[in-house]
A and B are shown apart, each in its own frame.
Chain A
Amino acid sequence: MSIVERLKRVNERDAPEESVPFRVAVLVAVVAAASATLSQGVGGSLTRLAVLAGIPFAFWFSHWARYRSGLWLKAGLAFGVLVAFGSFLGSLGDAADGGLAAAQLPLAELFCWVQLLHAFDLPARRDLLFSLMSSMVLMAVAGALSISMELLAYLLVWGTAAATSLVLAYRSELAQVPVLGPAPNRPTSEPRAGLISAGLVRSVTTTVAAVVLLGTGLFSVLPPAGQSRAVTFPQRLSGSVPLPNGGGLSNPSLGGDDPGGGEQSTSGGRASFGYFGFTDNLDTGVRGRPDNTLVMRVRSSSPDFWRGQTFDAWDGRRWSISDSKPGSVSGDAPVDVPLAADEQGTSTGPELVQTFYLERPGPNLVFGARPISTLYFPDRRLFQLVDGTLRAGVSLEEDSVYTVISRRPVATEAILRDSDGSGAAVPDRILARYTGLPAVPQRVRDLAREVTASAPTTFDKVRALEAWLGANTRYTLDVPPLPDGADAVEQYLFEDRIGFCEQIASSLVVMLRSVGVPARLAVGYTPGERNPFTGLYEVRASDAHSWAEVWFPGVGWQPFDPTASVPLSGDGGLSRASSGLASYLTQRLPQLPAWLVSTGVAVGAVAVVVALVVGWLRARRRRLGAHRSWADTALARLEALGAARGRHRRSSETATEYAGALRRAGGDRRLDQVAAIVTRDAFSGAPATEAERQAVARILEEAEATR
């Protein structure tokens, strides 16, 4: 066979696809996938309009032109693809400074255009299935870009349409196999209903249910996504404005208390999601917590404190930053962040990549587990304080994205307990800055000494104080106001004994300092809740938190917090991709009265049992019905015909007698013929011929039509 012949054979066109329902199902899947991708911020309004309006038109066109040779069409489409590719290259040039990650969106846009162009040339089933497959890839692209649950709606539509397409494609293929024909074994008992038949619904429902079950099962045993392996990470600024204060702190969400507030922003109160800790002067007398607003999403393979900044100076009521002179951090993207002066002596562990997707405008603090070693941030104006706090030189508005790579010291209980004996000394700089205290009330010092008396190591001292706090004080959001002139720590430890994280963490830091352990107060966010579906941590304003950081020789700063349970860096990690699935779902279930829940569970259990029994019975009937002959089904159809006329077949009545009775009652004269063929098929040992079956089907159809 010559190469030319082979080429011809390979390029032979399949028979055009006639099934309109199949086409429509593929169209729905493709549109759902394209919409999902476009919803992730891909393409401009022109692309969106062209793709969403163009794809249905292209599908219609493919159907209309399915018998045409389409040579010119192919040439045109090829040209169109080239144009789209050229446009993609052009947009790459525009976005060159964003790094490789900036190519993501143009690439997805190119894919949408290719999907649209391809939709113009779908004459055969194979082409339609190809389009379905590429819509799956498009769906995956959308999934890679997505950070929220919004995708779920698209996924449901796409999954259902795709399953429907596959079922319809299979049926369309079956219909072309001449031997099987219109499935002679079980054709007549299921008369064709219009576009959506019960059989189709059943098939699709079963398929989707099986996929969901299987997918959930796989999901629950799958390991979580490991450390991100990308060579470049998302970074994007949206609507940012440069800040004039040269590395100073700015937090517009605090309204009039914005530390960087210019003249124009001095008015107004704190936003509902504003946290009073993100300022340069934390007042523990402030009451009122941020609400549940979603402030950011964090993609990270491990939970940690997303730290914003630390405070070192305590005056009995307020925390402040003694050395707040920011130094500029420079370098090409990604920025290699030097280890801050107060972090010197920190051991560095494996990289932890965290990408922060901001949902609300916030302070110009760069959050992340500490110490940060690399930063993917689009703007060059970055500032670092001696404690390692990073500030941006621009405002951070919602939709901004940056990625932080941290090299956390590996810490486990054993390592921390051994650090005192490791021989490493506490640097003088740390001792000088993080053990100083103002006039702390004597009973606070006594208490700290008493609690830590029997603790041999720094780690044990911290744990002892945490345990005492946990046993003798209570966490609450409803704290009485701090009396004027009172010492906040003393008030908390001896008077109120209730407080929230600022009181607890401040007490821990003060008591640790009073026994000579270097400690400081950190503010930021707890990891938030991990959404098992997106794999992202959803951080809410109420997750804003303050905790204690304690210096361990040879290890570095370690966060401690009696109120939030965040695993140590060496212990952390997730076991499965579905971690937190159960708690995520139960927290979203509405609070229902107990009787309703128990009734629901009982009804559900009964329903499951009934469904199982019914399913078993039906399966059994179907199993018996596997022997159900053509004659039997044809007779059943004849019976249905008679029953519709009010003349049911008596069980002792033969097909011939019954058909005769129907004929005498004004039925089709040819029913006798039907009965004769059915009887012969049933009892002669020789099945009816295809022609006879078709004749029977025709007669019955006509009789049914004149019903």
Chain B
Amino acid sequence: MRADDVAAASDLANELTAALSRVVRGKPQAVRLALVALLSGGHLLVEDVPGVGKTLLGKALARAVGGSFRRIQATPDLLPGELTGVSVFSKRSEDWEFRPGPLFANVVLVDEINRATPRTQSALLEAMEEQQVTVDGVTHPLPDPFFVVATQNPFEHVGTFPLVEGQRDRFAVVIEMGLPARDTERELLLGRGGAGSLEDMAVVTGPEGLRAAVAAVRRVHCAPAVADYVVDISSTIRVHPEVRLGASPRASLSLLNAARAQAVLGGRSFVSPDDVKLVATASMAHRLILSGGADLHAGSALVRSVLERVPVPRG
């Protein structure tokens, strides 16, 4: 029944793409990669200067997916407890009660994550990794699906705490929005798409549907040759002379999962080398620490050069 599940997931992916594209105009790649992150069960980090629609993408995703949605505006004084929730003493029950924080939602939008302190960031990233929070020794599972969309402006330096390199690979996909094309910007001015259309946007699916889609993506067939190809890419990155810290096995796994999601987006029930290539840059670049430091642009260029070199399997 795999084919049916995958077909349903593909339909869902198509609907999501259509819905998002109506709001986030002129950014098909960003929409695609955002959905790759969503469907692969990972998290999304959107980097760019303010005003190019990072938050809009996050909001649109949240609305399309349905379910519960929380938005967190990160600031230096944001405390971990304000994300995870706190235990309070209830007079009625005469016991400590856990008040869930904003992380307890299906979609969590963390704006300007690099403004939060490293301590808060760590709490957030830990929650993202383990899909649970521990408060006062009690572990509380986070909802399923649990999808974090974080944004940051990497060009701001004053009052920011850049994500520690090792923590960036908690994100399955990192994308840059980029400036819109002239036509798109014009349309935006004329009121087509953008934040204004967000309210008209229909909910495409609910937590149930998304969970099923993510499960279907996990079951997408991967031929041994494609796994080899992924390993080839990772190992080629690792031995690249400019790379100080290369792609971990977790990175390889994440890349393959992203490729699986890409396959579903393409309406297929198997991963092809094309899928791997389509997601490799967004999935890998932010994990690399180059001799010049962790630079997303340099990392992307390096991954692209590696993709140009690694032979694709013939079958």
Contacts and interface: CB of A to CB of B under 8 A. Distances in A.
Interface string A644-667: 000000111110110000000000
B270 A683 contact: yes
Contacts of A654: 272-274, 277, 312
B221 A632 contact: no
A685 B225 contact: no
B226 interface: yes
Contact of A656 (B272, B310, B315): B272
Contacts of A685: 221, 223, 270
A678 B271 CA distance: 13
A631 B314 contact: yes
A684 B225 contact: no
Interface string A467-508: 000000000000000000000000000000000000000000
Given A680-B268, A685-B221, A629 B315 contact: yes
A457 interface: no
A128 to B, nearest CB: 40
B307 interface: yes
A682 interface: yes
Interface residues of B, number: 21
A682 B223 contact: yes
Nearest to B276: A654
A91 interface: no
Contact of A680 (B270, B273, B309): B270
Given A632-B314, A652-B309, A652-B312, A684 B273 contact: no
A679 B312 contact: no
Contact of A682 (B277, B307, B311, B315): B315
B313 interface: yes
A656 to B, nearest CB: 5
Contacts of B200: none
B315 A635 contact: yes
A350 B139 CA distance: 112
Given A652-B308, A682-B223, A684-B268, A635 B314 contact: yes
Contact of A651 (B274, B312, B315): B312
Interface string A621-639: 0000000010110010000
A654 B307 CA distance: 11
B269 interface: yes
A258 interface: no
A683 B225 contact: yes
A280 interface: no
Nearest to B273: A654
Contacts of B226: 683
A682 B274 contact: no
A279 to B, nearest CB: 86
Interface string A669-707: 000000000111111110000000000000000000000
A53 B51 CA distance: 94
Contacts of B273: 654, 679, 683
A652 B236 CA distance: 13
Most buried by B among A629, A654, A657, A681: A654
Interface in B199-251: 221, 223, 225-226
Contacts of A679: 272-274
B312 A683 contact: no
A698 to B, nearest CB: 20
Contacts of A683: 221, 223, 225-226, 270-273, 313, 315
B314 A684 contact: no
Chain B CB within 10 Å, residue with most, of A632, A657, A684: A684
Contacts of A656: 272, 274
Contacts of B269: 684
A678 B223 CA distance: 14
Contact of B223 (A635, A651, A684): A684
A220 B245 CA distance: 71
A683 B314 CA distance: 9
A500 B272 CA distance: 91
Contact of B274 (A650, A657, A681, A684): A657
Contacts of B270: 680, 683-685
Contacts of A682: 223, 225, 272, 313-315
B315 A631 contact: yes
Q: Which of B221, B223, B314 has the most CB of A within 10 A?
A: B314
Contacts of A631: 314-315
Nearest to B269: A684
Contacts of A629: 314-315
Contact of B312 (A632, A653, A681, A684): A653
Contacts of B225: 682-683
B180 to A, nearest CB: 26
Most buried by A among B221, B271, B274, B315: B315
A666 to B, nearest CB: 22
B310 A652 contact: yes
A683 B307 CA distance: 19
A679 B314 CA distance: 9
B307 to A, nearest CB: 6
Nearest to A636: B314
A653 B272 CA distance: 12
Residue of A631, A652, A681 with most chain B CB atoms under a 10 A cut-off:
A652
B223, B271, B272, most chain A CB atoms within 10 A = B272
Interface in A282-340: none
A482 to B, nearest CB: 90
B255 to A, nearest CB: 16
User: Which of B271, B274, B308, B309 gathers the greatest number of chain A CB atoms within 10 Å?
Assistant: B274
A469 B315 CA distance: 84
B9 to A, nearest CB: 16
A226 to B, nearest CB: 62
A635 B277 CA distance: 19
Given A654-B274, A654-B277, A657-B274, A681 B315 contact: yes
A217 to B, nearest CB: 42
A695 B37 CA distance: 36
Interface string B272-288: 11100100000000000
A627 to B, nearest CB: 10
A506 to B, nearest CB: 87
Contacts of B314: 629, 631-632, 635, 682
A654 B315 CA distance: 11
A683 B309 CA distance: 21
A685 B268 CA distance: 12
Contacts of B221: 683-685
A684 B222 CA distance: 7
A92 B226 CA distance: 80
A629, A631, A683, A684: residue with the most chain B Cβ atoms closer than 10 Å: A683
A652 B268 contact: no
A519 B314 CA distance: 90
Contacts of A681: 315
A631 B272 CA distance: 13
Contacts of B311: 651-652
Nearest to A681: B315
Nearest to B222: A683
B268 A632 contact: no
A287 B309 CA distance: 89
Nearest to B270: A684
Contacts of A684: 221, 223, 268-270
A632 B310 CA distance: 18
Contacts of B310: 652
Given A683-B271, A684-B268, 10 more contacts: A652-B309, A654-B312, A680-B270, A680-B272, A682-B225, A682-B313, A683-B313, A684-B269, A684-B270, A685-B221
21 contacts: A629-B315, A631-B315, A632-B315, A635-B315, A650-B308, A652-B308, A652-B311, A652-B312, A654-B274, A657-B277, A679-B272, A680-B268, A682-B223, A682-B225, A682-B313, A682-B314, A682-B315, A683-B221, A683-B273, A683-B315, A684-B223
* 8 tightest Cβ-Cβ pairs between the two chains A and B: A682-B315, A651-B311, A684-B270, A631-B315, A683-B223, A654-B273, A654-B274, A656-B274
Interface of B: 221, 223, 225-226, 268-274, 277, 307-315
